[in-house]
């Protein structure tokens, strides 16, 4: 089958269409021509992909999501980076007003689905591709033996989906970070947050349930009456009581039965959680992420925190659930209070490939956790609930310094957040990868905790989000990070290293020979045993010596020097970002690469 242009160039194509049949059939045809295709079932999913990955061409149905497709086309055309990207529109619309609107938006390539043929589609695609103002690089065909891999490199080792050359070294990124100026003063930010907190304050019905639950003499009937005041909350309380979190016996159908099942001591937290989601779910979230994905992440953290609380007994499970649910609401509040400024912060974090909280602190003088602290206090939330939210991004050692009395309770929520990031459930807007071992050790968790949680939490989240979110529409899953990486060996000495779940999940095809090794070294005395382990795994896989990326606390460790000979290598400090990991792997794929001194100072 011919390529899209005379040179046979393979394209990175984003295909956005609401019909599964259309998406899968077109993707199959395009992939048969060696094009790289990402499919999106919604505009939110399409925006998320465009925010993270470069594309050569977009195929879109403008009527998707009740007209949101037109808004996305308009956003693409007004974006400085995406504005030149060719668009091919596939539509049922014969309405001249829609066609004229597309023309006004600069769309000159359109194909009616009623006139669709494969030949017509490919012809339109070829014309659209040629309209790109810059030459499209020919992507190497992995099945073409005419271009052998250079000596010392490994075929298929480079990650796809990210322009690694565009990612600055960490030294340059930190320098750029220090040169950034705040986008507004702290007093101005607090004033705008105050307006949002008043607008999104807890509803009277929720506040009344909270007051009733605090009274020692509050009866079940009084609590039921308070819940019934808000019909939407009452319905969700019934759904919650029938979810996997509380199901015991036959389904409940009344508010009274739901309150009894959840328990009078837990109903306050449950109603508070539902009320806050209702108040904030309509708010703007980070560019490129849907509200559904944001709250899916929050619910997963809440469930995980409650499970860890039950195991460690460091905090009440209901309280841990609420803290987990609210741990990132500062991001929603910032996005609503200062949408343009916060969008700029998110773009800078992506451009520099640094954790989002570092850009927040520099450009806003407050992190999202500190923002949550200010707002939650105005909502009269107790301090033992607020502190874990404020400190959940700190390392274990800094948590002990900041709040020694509550360190382990905070660690429960901090670890829950890290684990959910590792399981890639939902999306909070942060691209960072965090270590977890210190938290497992501080909480004295069993060796199989990570494996057990990774098996149970996704299903529990799917069940509970139906009860707690406003709609029951399916939330699109983000592309798994590991899918953008080559086959690799992941070498670690710890059962508590959740980074393995992100980078090398067990479901990778064992028949694919590894082309890269990632080694997690926590301390100098681990270098020798991990080097031996790497050599054993290479021998077992029948490969080697592989290029190696070493992740360590300060980014200053490698495997033993005598085993670095013949290996391209790089080193990164933790926390780091997914893009920076891709860039490091891409760098050690480059012929002649010997060492990468790109290190990232450990975050506070």
CA atoms within 13 A on the CB side of 238: 15
Distance from C-alpha of 525 to C-alpha of 196, rounded to nearest angstrom: 51
Q: Please, are residues 354 and 177 in contact by the beta-carbon 8 Å criterion?
A: yes
Domain ranges of the chain: 12-130, 178-200+285-477, 201-282, 484-589
User: Please, what CATH class does the domain formed by 12-130 belong to?
Assistant: alpha beta
Domain 484-589 has CATH 3.40.50: yes
52-94 pLDDT, tens digit each: 777 888 999 888 877 788 888 888 888 777 877 888 888 876 6
Q: Please, are residues 388 and 409 in contact by the beta-carbon 8 Å criterion?
A: yes
Q: Please, are residues 513 and 543 in contact by the beta-carbon 8 Å criterion?
A: yes
Please count the residues of the chain: 604
Instruction: Summarize the confidence of residues 132-161 as an average pLDDT.
Output: 39
- Strand-pairing partners, residue 60, are 16, 89
Distance from C-alpha of 42 to C-alpha of 293, rounded to nearest angstrom: 13
Distance from C-alpha of 299 to C-alpha of 414, rounded to nearest angstrom: 14
Q: What is the DSSP letter of 115?
A: G
- Strand-pairing partners, residue 433, are 576
pLDDT of residue 536: 94
pLDDT of residue 80: 74
User: Alpha carbon of 3 to those of 85, 122, 134, 177: distances in Å?
Assistant: 18, 9, 17, 42
Number of continuous H segments (helices) and E segments (strands) in the chain = 26, 11
pLDDT of residue 487: 86
Q: Which segment of 100-109, 122-131, 382-391, 393-402 scores lowest on mean pLDDT? A: 100-109
Q: Does the CA dihedral 259-265-269-272 come out positive or negative?
A: positive
Under DSSP, is residue 516 helix (H, G, I), strand (E, B) or coil? strand
User: Please, what CATH class does the domain formed by 178-200+285-477 belong to?
Assistant: mainly alpha
Nearest to 261 by CA among 244, 248, 272: 248
- Residue 357's CB is within 10 A of a number of other CB atoms, namely 23
pLDDT of residue 97: 65
Under DSSP, is residue 44 helix (H, G, I), strand (E, B) or coil? helix
Instruction: Summarize the confidence of residues 10-26 as an average pLDDT.
Output: 84
Residue 277 has pLDDT above 90, yes or no: no
Instruction: Summarize the confidence of residues 395-408 as an average pLDDT.
Output: 91
Q: Where are the beta strands (DSSP E) in 51-118?
A: 57-60, 87-91, 110-112
Angle formed by the axes of helices 449-468 and 291-312, to 10°?
A: 130
Q: Please, are residues 604 and 394 in contact by the beta-carbon 8 Å criterion?
A: yes
Confidence label for 44 from pLDDT (cuts 50, 70 and 90): confident
Q: Please, are residues 61 and 68 in contact by the beta-carbon 8 Å criterion?
A: no
Instruction: Summarize the confidence of residues 267-273 as an average pLDDT.
Output: 70
Check whether the bond before 579 is cis (ω within 30° of 0): no
Q: Please, are residues 192 and 338 in contact by the beta-carbon 8 Å criterion?
A: yes
The rounded mean pLDDT for the chain is 79
pLDDT of residue 278: 67
pLDDT of residue 478: 60
178-200+285-477 and 12-130 share a CATH fold: no
Under DSSP, is residue 196 helix (H, G, I), strand (E, B) or coil? helix
Instruction: Report pTM.
Output: 0.66
pLDDT of residue 202: 62
Residue 149 has pLDDT above 60, yes or no: no
């Amino acid at each position: 089958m011919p390529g899209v242009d005379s040179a046979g160039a393979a394209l990175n194509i984003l295909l956005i269409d609401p019909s599964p049949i259309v998406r899968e059939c077109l993707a199959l045809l395009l992939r048969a021509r060696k094009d790289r295709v990402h499919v999106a079932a919604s505009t939110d999913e399409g925006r998320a992909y465009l925010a993270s990955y470069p594309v050569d061409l977009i195929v879109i149905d403008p009527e998707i999501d009740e007209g949101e497709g037109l808004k996305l086309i308009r956003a693409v055309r007004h974006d400085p980076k995406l504005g030149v990207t060719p668009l091919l529109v596939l539509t049922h619309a014969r309405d001249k007003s829609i066609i004229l609107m597309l023309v006004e938006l600069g769309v000159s390539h359109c194909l009616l689905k009623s006139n669709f043929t494969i030949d017509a589609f490919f012809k339109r695609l070829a014309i659209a591709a040629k309209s790109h103002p810059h030459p499209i690089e020919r992507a190497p065909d992995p099945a073409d033996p005419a271009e052998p891999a250079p000596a010392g490199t490994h075929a298929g080792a480079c990650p796809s989906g990210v322009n690694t050359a565009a990612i600055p070294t960490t030294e340059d990124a930190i320098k750029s970070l220090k040169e950034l100026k705040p986008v507004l003063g702290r007093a101005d930010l607090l004033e705008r947050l105050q307006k949002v907190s008043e607008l999104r304050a807890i509803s009277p019905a929720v506040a009344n349930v909270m007051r009733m639950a605090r009274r020692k003499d509050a009866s079940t009937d009084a609590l039921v009456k308070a819940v019934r005041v808000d019909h939407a909350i009452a319905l969700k309380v019934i759904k919650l009581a029938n979810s996997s979190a509380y199901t015991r016996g036959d389904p409940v159908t009344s508010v009274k039965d739901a309150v009894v099942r959840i328990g009078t001591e837990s109903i306050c937290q449950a109603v508070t959680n539902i009320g806050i989601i209702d108040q904030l779910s309509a708010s703007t979230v980070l560019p490129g992420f849907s509200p559904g994905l944001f709250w899916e992440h929050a619910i997963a953290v809440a469930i995980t925190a409650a499970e860890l609380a039950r195991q460690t007994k460091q905090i009440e499970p209901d309280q841990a659930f609420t803290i987990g649910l609210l741990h990132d609401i500062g991001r929603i509040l910032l996005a609503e209070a200062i949408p343009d400024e916060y969008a700029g912060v998110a773009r800078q974090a992506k451009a520099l490939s640094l954790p989002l909280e570092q850009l927040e602190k520099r450009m806003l003088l407050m992190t999202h956790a500190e923002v949550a602290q200010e707002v939650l206090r105005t909502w009269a939330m107790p301090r033992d609930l607020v502190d874990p939210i404020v400190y959940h991004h700190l390392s274990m050692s800094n948590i002990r310094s900041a709040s020694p009395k509550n360190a382990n309770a905070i660690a429960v929520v901090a670890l829950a957040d890290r684990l959910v990031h590792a399981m890639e459930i939902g999306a909070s807007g942060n691209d960072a990868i965090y270590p977890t071992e210190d938290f497992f050790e501080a909480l004295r968790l069993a060796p199989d905790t990570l494996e057990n949680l990774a098996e149970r939490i996704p299903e529990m989240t799917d069940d509970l989000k139906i009860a707690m979110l406003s709609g029951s529409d399916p939330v699109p899953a983000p592309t798994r990070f590991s899918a953008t990486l080559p086959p690799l060996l992941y070498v670690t000495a710890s059962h508590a290293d959740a980074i393995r779940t992100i980078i090398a999940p067990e479901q990778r095809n064992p028949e694919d020979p590894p082309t890269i090794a990632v080694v997690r070294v926590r301390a100098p005395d681990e270098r020798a045993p991990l080097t031996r382990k790497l050599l054993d795994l290479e021998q077992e896989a029948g490969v080697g010596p592989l290029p190696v990326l070493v992740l360590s606390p300060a980014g200053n460790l490698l495997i033993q020097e005598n085993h670095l000979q013949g290996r391209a290598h790089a080193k990164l400090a933790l926390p780091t970002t997914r893009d920076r990991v891709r860039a490091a792997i891409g760098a050690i794929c480059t012929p002649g690469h010997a060492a990468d001194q790109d290190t990232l100072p450990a975050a506070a």
